[in-house]
């Protein structure tokens, strides 16, 4: 599955490798420039491990001035640059190009300021998401967006992808929790968007940069808001005899004015697989299983849990358990968070999709997925961030069978197209990257895409920063790969996902 068309390799750059190396070594400490094949290998892919490409050089700057000088040098000499944070992205956003300099931001790994008075943290971009919460939790604060890979993913990567997490229904995604960034543009310009004062005047460049997948600038500093840790968190584990009942329950919870902190649904296949894997005590006979979590004060949480209990019963729930302790609550989540490895037991390979749909379309979309599963003769298990409509089907297949791989890719593309058809989106939180690039024309027409490309050209006229990502190179909508995991050979197989 490596038939993906990437930007044309500039052979003049390849032939000037030695000159470029020596020039870069004049800008930054030579020990921070990697050029040997063995040194470069760890950087040749991100978590979309099916695609690999060694870059020309790997450069690890330590200061914003170095980042600026490198970008200016590359801009002047027409050298492509691919920025990279922790490399945990699932859509191939930091896949190198043969003729690029991979700008690895790993040395920007310090938290700069814990500012409790203004309830924010100023940090360098390669600090992990979880490290921010860990730095402030002693004082009773936390950083709200929690992508499941938070133990390893960097905050800069979160900004670049606008990462979500299970709590984004109530607390929003990265963009809603970000106050400011320092950023370097491709021509070397250093500037700041936003800051500790909310809603800066003028065009919202902070919002534009968030989720731009490293195409518009390289972040060198991030300011995020932190929230008070909720006093009480409780979850309910609810089984339903049909997916429709589970879907109706979600709709009614929302309609009755409850906004849970998290609301997840799994289908029977995934409930069984994760329960076998993690012994989470799930109702394995249920066709649909829901975990719904509330946080706040004791009275508040109890009031909402009571409300949900009534709504669930009205919608034919077959079982209902409420967490009595934090340990029990975490046990409810343990299975859900182990969805990836649990599927790994069932099949040699699986591919994880990331579509967004209106909550009310859940049953319809799952029925369509079941129909497609029969059509392609491939099993599928479904996890769903029901609160915010983010669907993660896991298609199981055997990549050693080229026919099955092709079928799986077609199956995946059909699911995403259906998500768009019912009013959803191609990607809820994993980003477009290279993975869903050619499907962009399912969601956007030429004019929409052209407008976005014009913005890109305005800030990076030579299209040198992370080219070949997000926007289609081919003029037709090819159907290409998804997150593909083969026999645990993915990068970071152990970290929790989605």
Partner 1 sequence: MSMEEKQNSQTFLDFNQSTFNPSTREEIVEIVKDCYKKNIPLEINGTKSKNKIGRNFQSEKTLSLSKFSGIIEYKPEELYIKVKAGTPVKDIVAELDKNNQQLAFEPIDFGFLFKGSSDAGTIGGVVSSNFAGPRRFKVGSARDHLLGFQGVNGKGEIIKSGGTVVKNVTGYDLCKLLSGSFGTLTVLTDLSVKVLPKPDSSKTLIINNPHLKKAIEYLGIALSSSTDPSGGVFYPEKFDNNFTFNDLTHKGALTAIRIEGPLNSVDERIKRLIKELSLLENEFSILESVQTNIFWNKTKNLEVFSNSKSNLLRIVVPVSETLNVIQKLKIFDANYFLDWGGSLIWLELEKINLKTLREIKEIAQEHSGYCTIIKVEEDLKASADIFTIDPIKYKISEKIKKSFDPKRIFNPGKMYSGI
Least distance CB 352 / partner 1 (angstroms): 15
- Residue 349, helix vs strand vs coil: strand
DSSP state of 149: T
In terms of CB distance, is 119 or 331 closer to partner 1? 119
Regarding 169 and contact with partner 1 (CB under 8 A), the answer is yes
User: For residue 180, which of 141, 114, 122 has the smallest C-alpha distance?
Assistant: 122
Would you call 61 helix, strand, or coil by DSSP? Answer: coil
CB of 283 to partner 1, least distance (A): 25
Distance in angstroms (rounded) separating the CA atoms of residues 482 and 128: 25
Is 298 a binding residue for partner 1 by CB under 8 A? The answer is yes
Cα separation of 18 and 138, whole Å?
A: 50
Closer by beta carbon to partner 1, 120 or else 405: 120
Residues 203-222, interacting with partner 1 (CB under 8 A): 203-208, 210-212, 216
Classify residue 296 as left (phi > 0), alpha (psi -120 to 50) or beta: left
Which range touches partner 1 (CB under 8 A), out of 59-67, 200-208, 328-336, 392-400?
200-208
Nearer to partner 1 by Cβ, of 111 and 232: the residue is 232
Number of residues in contact with partner 1, rule: CB under 8 A?
92
The answer to whether the CB of 82 falls within 8 A of the CB of 218 is no
- 446 Cβ contact partners less than 8 Å away, ≥ 6 residues apart: none
Chain positions 443 to 472 lying near partner 1, rule: CB under 8 A, are: 443-444, 447-452, 454-455, 457-459, 470-471
**413 phi, psi to nearest 5 deg:** -65, -40
Q: Which is nearer to partner 1, 65 or 196 (CB)?
A: 196
Q: Which is nearer to partner 1, 266 or 357 (CB)?
A: 357
Q: Which of 47, 57, 67, 173 binds partner 1 (CB under 8 A)?
A: 173
Q: Tell me whether residue 197 or residue 474 sits nearer to partner 1 (CB atom).
A: 197
Q: Is 474 in the site for partner 1 (CB under 8 A)?
A: no
Q: Which of 32, 162, 220, 323 binds partner 1 (CB under 8 A)?
A: 162
**Integer Cα distance of 356 and 427 in angstroms:** 6
Interface mask toward partner 1 for 110-149; x: CB under 8 A? -----xxxxx--------------------xx--------
- The Cα-based distances of 151 to 115, 186, 443, 458, 495 in angstroms read 22, 30, 32, 36, 7
Q: Which of residues 371-400 bind partner 1 (CB under 8 A)?
A: 385, 388-390
* Residue of 99, 214, 194 whose CA lies nearest to 154: 214
Closest distance between partner 1 and the C-beta of residue 242, in Å?
18
Q: Does 39 bind partner 1 (CB under 8 A)?
A: no
Residue 199 makes contact with partner 1 by CB under 8 A: yes
Stretch 257-276: interaction string toward partner 1, x if CB under 8 A: xxx-----------------
Exposed e or buried b for every residue in 207-239, given b needs 16+ CB within 10 A?
A: eebbbbbbbbbbbbbbbbbbeeeeeebbbbbbb
């Amino acid at each position: 599955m490596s038939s993906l068309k990437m930007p044309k390799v500039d052979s003049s750059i390849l032939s000037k490798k030695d000159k470029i190396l020596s020039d870069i070594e004049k800008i930054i400490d030579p020990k921070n420039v990697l050029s040997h094949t063995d040194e470069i290998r760890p950087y040749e892919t991100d978590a979309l491990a099916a695609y690999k490409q060694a870059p020309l050089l790997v450069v690890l700057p330590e200061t914003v001035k170095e980042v600026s000088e490198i970008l200016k040098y590359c801009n002047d000499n027409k050298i492509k640059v691919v920025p990279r944070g922790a490399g945990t992205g699932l859509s191939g956003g930091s896949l190198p190009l043969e003729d690029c300099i991979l700008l690895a931001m790993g040395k920007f790994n310090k938290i700069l300021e814990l500012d409790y008075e203004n309830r924010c943290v100023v940090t360098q971009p390669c600090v992990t998401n979880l490290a921010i919460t860990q730095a402030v939790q002693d004082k009773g604060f936390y950083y709200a967006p929690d992508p499941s890979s938070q133990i390893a993913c960097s905050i800069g990567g979160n900004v670049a992808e606008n990462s979500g997490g299970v709590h984004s229904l109530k607390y929003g995604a990265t963009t809603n929790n970000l106050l400011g960034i320092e950023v370097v543009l491709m021509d070397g310009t250093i500037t700041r968007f936003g800051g500790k004062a909310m809603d800066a005047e003028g065009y919202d460049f902070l919002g534009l940069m968030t989720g731009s997948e490293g195409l518009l600038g390289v972040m060198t500093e991030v300011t995020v808001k932190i929230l008070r840790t909720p006093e009480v968190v409780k979850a309910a584990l609810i089984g339903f005899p049909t997916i429709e009942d589970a879907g109706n329950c979600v709709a009614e919870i929302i309609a009755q004015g409850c906004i849970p902190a998290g609301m997840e649904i799994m289908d029977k296949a995934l409930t069984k697989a994760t329960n076998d894997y993690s012994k989470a005590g799930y109702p394995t006979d249920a066709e649909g299983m829901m975990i719904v979590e509330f946080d706040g004060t004791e009275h508040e949480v109890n009031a909402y849990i009571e409300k949900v209990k009534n709504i669930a019963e009205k919608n034919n729930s077959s079982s209902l358990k409420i967490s009595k302790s934090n340990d029990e609550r975490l046990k409810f989540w343990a299975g859900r968070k182990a969805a990836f490895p649990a599927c790994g037991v069932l099949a040699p390979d699986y591919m994880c999709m990331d579509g967004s749909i209106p909550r009310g379309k859940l049953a319809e979309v799952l029925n369509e997925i079941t129909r497609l599963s029969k059509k392609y003769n491939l099993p599928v298990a479904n996890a769903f961030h029901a609160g915010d409509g983010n669907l993660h089907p896991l298609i199981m297949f055997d990549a050693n069978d080229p026919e099955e791989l092709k079928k799986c890719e077609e199956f995946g593309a059909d699911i995403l197209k259906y998500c768009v058809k019912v009013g959803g989106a191609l990607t809820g939180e994993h980003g477009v990257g290279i993975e869903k690039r050619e499907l962009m024309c399912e969601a956007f027409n030429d004019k929409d895409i052209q407008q976005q490309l014009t913005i890109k050209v305005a800030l990076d006229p030579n299209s040198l920063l992370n080219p070949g990502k997000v926007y289609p190179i081919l003029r037709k909508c090819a159907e290409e790969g998804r997150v593909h995991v083969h026999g645990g050979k993915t990068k970071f197989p152990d970290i929790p996902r989605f």
